[in-house]
Chains A and B, each alone.
Chain A
Amino acid sequence: MASQVEAPVVRLSDVEKVFTRGDEAATTALEAIDLDIRRGEFVSLIGPSGCGKSTLLRVIGDLIQPTRGEVVVNGKPASQARRERDYGMVFQAPVLMDWRTVQDNVRLPLEILGRPTAQRTARAREMLELVELGDFLEHYPYQLSGGMQQRVAIARALSFEPAILLMDEPFGALDEMTRERMNSEVLRIWERTGTTIVFVTHSIPEAVFLSSRVVVMSPRPGRITRVVEIDLPRPRNEDSRETPRYFQLVTEVREALRMRGDRPADDEAIGDVPSVDRTMAEGAVG
């Protein structure tokens, strides 16, 4: 999918994030994070609550600064990437503006970027068609279901064609059936737009179904314990969820998550293994 020679879209080198709140004990939310994300890749971050997934996403998006280490996005520092509008964000809640119609919500980033009015309207329509909400342009957010609101949020994030889409448990609040439908929809959008996606989830099936790679994290301190290459053939559809390979990969990710949880004492030992794993995995696929 991605060429070997091309520079990564996101390169995290030895990133560490320590939260200090007043004179409370400091929390090491991230430690020794090394990760390269290639152009057009779909990378999922998975791990138990509090392992630093959201923190990692915010560090990539320059919403918080790492305590140590470097974040390079499209060959420039993350702060510059943010100023150049390289990021689209989608959170667990849709975070739509109550006082704006669906269409005007999608237009918001285009207004801020100072795009011409005609383009705003055209783009907003196009994006809402893409998420199949073309009939709801003039509705207000409260008139839509949770799944529809989240689709508006996705349309909004895509509207200005950011190089990277950062999604923090975007379907975490949805029921299982809506979630699976949204998964297929995101895949379709990803295939059509070719956007690089970093996707936080704590659902193993979701991560496996969507991703090119699944990054498994462990808590206290937040680290990458393994990176699982997902070699399910594309294009994927609902049938992909029933192939033996899919189940194998789900098991693999589950075990990678469990490996850590069973042995909380062996911090140092396990901390080292994954980086080796990751190197091997990257080397193997290329």
Chain B
Amino acid sequence: MATAVAARGRPVAAATDRARGRGWSALTFAGILLLLLAVWEGVKFLGGVPWRTPGAVPGDPVLWNPPFRWPFANDLNLPHVWNIVLAFTQPFQRGAEATLAEYLLGAALYTWREAAIGFMLGGFLGLALATVFVHSRLLERALVPYVIASQTVPIIALAPLIAFVMGQSVLTVVLIATYLTFFPVTIAMIRGLRSFDPRAMELMRSYAASRWQIYRKLRLPASLPYLFTALRISATASIVGAIIGEDAGGIQAGLGRVITTFNQYYITGPEKLWAAIIAAALLGIAFFLVIRAIEIAVLRGQPGAEGG
């Protein structure tokens, strides 16, 4: 919003409302997580294999014998939550010194670096494209269909292609993350850079402001709520891109490779794959929250800046 209208909530009241809102969403999140775990273990309670203590070996005493035997609920397909948690504290492979948690943290940080570079490149690319499009209807009409079409190409098909051109390197992974990042930013910023108050534009024209000045002092600041909404989506998308891209890019150190490996050796340790999936999810959430924190800091003091 580019116009200050009267009758806005008092800033202090708005701030406490916001804090309360955040507290509620954290509670809701925890509630849903607990529900999910309850359903998970509930299914195993009804139709899993006999329950034993965490980390038990065959022959240990049975704690609970479920009335049914559903194949999908056995310990291979659906390991116990506590066994997954326990797996984090165990060596990530036989004889290894590092625990699975340490191993996954290292892999996640590696993947995050790839994703973050792709995210920044994609963010700038998206901003640049949107900037061109809002200044030229002709280019917008000519090129936006291609931007949209680009996203209909499945990443699974595109990844090997990029790897073929760029070679097996981190660059491939970064480009895939870029590819997934630039799209939401482009689309959101085409709207955002036009979201200024038209009367503010008249004002700028009455000052005989240059295009650059209008861009810097009106279009861009007015678009920031749109930009951050897109960046939050892009943050998680870039992580997904990096994880998928590591396979095609032949990267050994990241989460993508870890997931592939644990998938191959699933039978010997199903908890490890689940742990790796949880690590990937946490990485996405962490990146999302970092962007959200930056957004709150940047848009501080701006009413109506609370995006969804």
Q: Which residues of A contact B (CB under 8 A)?
A: 58, 61, 63, 82-85, 87-89, 91, 93-99, 108-109, 111-113, 140-146, 149, 160, 166, 173
* Given contact pairs A97-B2, A98-B4, A63 touches B206 in the complex (Cβ within 8 A): yes
Which of chain A's residues have a CB closer than 8 A to the CB of B202? Answer: 58, 63, 89, 91
In-complex Cβ contact of B199 among A95, A141, A149 (8 A): A95
In-complex Cβ contact of A142 among B204, B208, B299, B303 (8 A): B303
User: Could you tell me the distance in whole angstroms from the C-beta of A84 to the nearest C-beta in chain B?
Assistant: 8
Which of chain B's residues have a CB closer than 8 A to the CB of A111? Answer: 213, 217
Alpha-carbon distance A96/B2, docked complex (angstroms): 7
Alpha-carbon distance A143/B302, docked complex (angstroms): 11
Which of chain B's residues have a CB closer than 8 A to the CB of A141? Answer: 4
The B169-205 residues at the A interface (CB cut-off 8 A) are: 197, 199-200, 202-205
In-complex Cβ contact of A88 among B3, B7, B204, B206 (8 A): B206
Which of chain B's residues have a CB closer than 8 A to the CB of A87? Answer: 206
Alpha-carbon distance A173/B5, docked complex (angstroms): 10
Q: Are B6 and A108 in contact (CB under 8 A)?
A: no
Chosen A-B contacts, 9 in total, with CB atoms closer than 8 Å, are A82-B206, A93-B3, A96-B3, A97-B221, A98-B3, A99-B224, A142-B303, A143-B11, A173-B6
Closest B residue to A84 using CB positions = B208
Q: Are B205 and A63 in contact (CB under 8 A)?
A: yes
Closest B residue to A100 using CB positions = B221
Which of chain B's residues have a CB closer than 8 A to the CB of A140? Answer: 4, 11, 301-302
User: Could you tell me the distance in whole angstroms from the C-beta of B129 to the nearest C-beta in chain A?
Assistant: 24
User: Does B1 sit within 8 A of A, measured CB to CB?
Assistant: yes
User: Could you tell me the distance in whole angstroms from the C-beta of A20 to the nearest C-beta in chain B?
Assistant: 20
Q: Are A95 and B3 in contact (CB under 8 A)?
A: yes
Closest A residue to B197 using CB positions = A95
Encoded as 1 (CB less than 8 Å from any A CB) or 0, chain B from 247 to 282 comes to: 000000000000000000000000000000000000
* Given contact pairs A85-B208, A88-B206, A89-B202, A108 touches B217 in the complex (Cβ within 8 A): yes
Q: Are B4 and A94 in contact (CB under 8 A)?
A: yes
Which of chain B's residues have a CB closer than 8 A to the CB of A98? Answer: 1-4, 302-304
Q: Are B301 and A89 in contact (CB under 8 A)?
A: no
Which of chain A's residues have a CB closer than 8 A to the CB of B8? Answer: 142
The B271-308 residues at the A interface (CB cut-off 8 A) are: 299, 301-304
Alpha-carbon distance A272/B7, docked complex (angstroms): 46
Q: Are A146 and B2 in contact (CB under 8 A)?
A: no
In-complex Cβ contact of A82 among B6, B200, B205 (8 A): B205
Which of chain B's residues have a CB closer than 8 A to the CB of A166? Answer: 206
Q: Are A149 and B213 in contact (CB under 8 A)?
A: no
Which of chain B's residues have a CB closer than 8 A to the CB of A173? Answer: 6
User: Does B209 sit within 8 A of A, measured CB to CB?
Assistant: yes
In-complex Cβ contact of A83 among B11, B208, B302 (8 A): B208
User: Could you tell me the distance in whole angstroms from the C-beta of A74 to the nearest C-beta in chain B?
Assistant: 15
In-complex Cβ contact of B206 among A61, A94, A146 (8 A): A61
Closest A residue to B9 using CB positions = A142
Closest B residue to A114 using CB positions = B213
Alpha-carbon distance A84/B208, docked complex (angstroms): 8
Q: Are B4 and A96 in contact (CB under 8 A)?
A: yes
Which of chain B's residues have a CB closer than 8 A to the CB of A85? Answer: 207-208
Name the 8 nearest CB pairs between A and B, nearest first.
Answer: A141-B4, A146-B6, A142-B8, A96-B4, A89-B206, A142-B303, A112-B207, A95-B199
User: Could you tell me the distance in whole angstroms from the C-beta of B96 to the nearest C-beta in chain A?
Assistant: 52
Which of chain A's residues have a CB closer than 8 A to the CB of B11? Answer: 140, 142-143
Which of chain A's residues have a CB closer than 8 A to the CB of B4? Answer: 94, 96-98, 140-142, 144, 149
Which of chain B's residues have a CB closer than 8 A to the CB of A112? Answer: 204, 207-209, 213, 217
Alpha-carbon distance A25/B218, docked complex (angstroms): 34
Alpha-carbon distance A82/B208, docked complex (angstroms): 6
Encoded as 1 (CB less than 8 Å from any A CB) or 0, chain B from 18 to 62 comes to: 000000000000000000000000000000000000000000000
Which of chain B's residues have a CB closer than 8 A to the CB of A63? Answer: 202, 205-206
User: Could you tell me the distance in whole angstroms from the C-beta of B306 to the nearest C-beta in chain A?
Assistant: 13
Alpha-carbon distance A140/B205, docked complex (angstroms): 24
User: Could you tell me the distance in whole angstroms from the C-beta of B67 to the nearest C-beta in chain A?
Assistant: 61
* Given contact pairs A111-B217, A140-B301, A149-B4, A95 touches B207 in the complex (Cβ within 8 A): no
Which of chain A's residues have a CB closer than 8 A to the CB of B1? Answer: 98
Closest A residue to B301 using CB positions = A140
User: Could you tell me the distance in whole angstroms from the C-beta of A247 to the nearest C-beta in chain B?
Assistant: 32
Alpha-carbon distance A54/B14, docked complex (angstroms): 36
User: Could you tell me the distance in whole angstroms from the C-beta of A110 to the nearest C-beta in chain B?
Assistant: 9
Which of chain B's residues have a CB closer than 8 A to the CB of A82? Answer: 205-206, 208
Q: Are B5 and A93 in contact (CB under 8 A)?
A: yes
User: Could you tell me the distance in whole angstroms from the C-beta of B266 to the nearest C-beta in chain A?
Assistant: 51
Closest B residue to A101 using CB positions = B301
Which of chain A's residues have a CB closer than 8 A to the CB of B301? Answer: 99, 140
In-complex Cβ contact of A99 among B197, B199, B302 (8 A): B302
Closest A residue to B218 using CB positions = A97
User: Could you tell me the distance in whole angstroms from the C-beta of A242 to the nearest C-beta in chain B?
Assistant: 30
Q: Are A113 and B199 in contact (CB under 8 A)?
A: no
In-complex Cβ contact of B203 among A95, A142, A160 (8 A): A95
Which of chain B's residues have a CB closer than 8 A to the CB of A160? Answer: 207
Q: Are B199 and A91 in contact (CB under 8 A)?
A: yes
* Given contact pairs A63-B202, A112-B213, A143-B11, A149 touches B207 in the complex (Cβ within 8 A): no
Alpha-carbon distance A87/B7, docked complex (angstroms): 30
In-complex Cβ contact of B207 among A91, A97, A99, A113 (8 A): A113
